[in-house]
Amino acid sequence: MDVRKSSGADRPAGREAARRPGAAQPRATQADRRARTRAALLESAARGLSRYGYGNLRLEQVAQDAGYTRGALYHQFTGKQDLTLAVTEWVLDTWWQEVGVFVERAPDPIAALLTLARGHAVYCRRDIARVAMALRLEFAGQDHPVGRAVEQGYRDLLDRCTALIEAAREAGAIPDDPDGPPAGILALAYVGAIEGTSIALSGHAPHDAPLVARAAAGALGLTYDPGEHTDPGRTAHRRTTRREAS
């Protein structure tokens, strides 16, 4: 007789018991366990990269901090470069889920730019947010796969901000002085404002988000009014007005 056919879980009473609160849950599949291991290793590596950089990252310590052996790490990644490239992609994906999706839902370009500034400030409260900045500085001027991946992510952000600034100028929401900087240069100033202010205000939540948004608005030639909303994840359009010409 096939014992699988007579197991309690296959009988009506057994199936009912399996659905009861507190009943044993099905065992995780190998794919589930692999995904959990990978996520833990990525987060541990991100913390290590943000604190020590690529050159000083020790894979044995990454594995130990994640609760795994070095062998488990090498089962997932071929080495430090492969792991760091995976971390870079994971950080970008995490930023998109926590910031980018709200930017896309904003009702207009100015709302999108201010949502990005506030959301980025909140995101930078986490250790992993410093990975991209640390790697970008470490690999500046070098032709290295990790440096190229980080620079591509930075260029993608600049391109998105440039497009939003151009749209805001066309709508008359951002001053468009013929002698003023091109949208791409203004995007550099905007991104520099949110990154620099986020770093300077590290550890100063909840004041960081509105101050980063104010710095970003200033770079765009706007006056920032936080209004009534304090949640940086919200997409409501904060009132901004053009600065009066002196």
pTM: 0.77
Per-residue pLDDT for the chain (246 aa), expressed as one digit of tens each? 333 344 444 444 544 544 555 555 556 788 888 999 999 999 999 999 999 999 999 999 999 999 999 999 999 999 999 999 999 999 999 999 999 999 999 999 999 999 999 999 999 998 888 899 999 999 999 999 999 999 999 999 999 999 999 999 999 999 888 888 999 999 999 999 999 999 999 899 999 999 999 999 999 999 887 763 344 444 333 333 333 333
Which residues, in sequence order, are CB contacts of 48 under 8 Å at separation 6+?
Answer: 57, 58, 61, 62, 65
β-bridge partners, 224 = 240
> Which CATH fold would you assign to the domain 79-242?
Tetracycline Repressor; domain 2 (1.10.357)
Amino acid at 90: W
Rounded CA gap, 90 and 130, in Å? 13
Alpha carbons 62 and 48: distance in angstroms, whole number:
7
- Which residues does 165 contact at the CB level (< 8 Å), separation at least 6? 109, 113, 174, 183, 186, 187, 190, 220
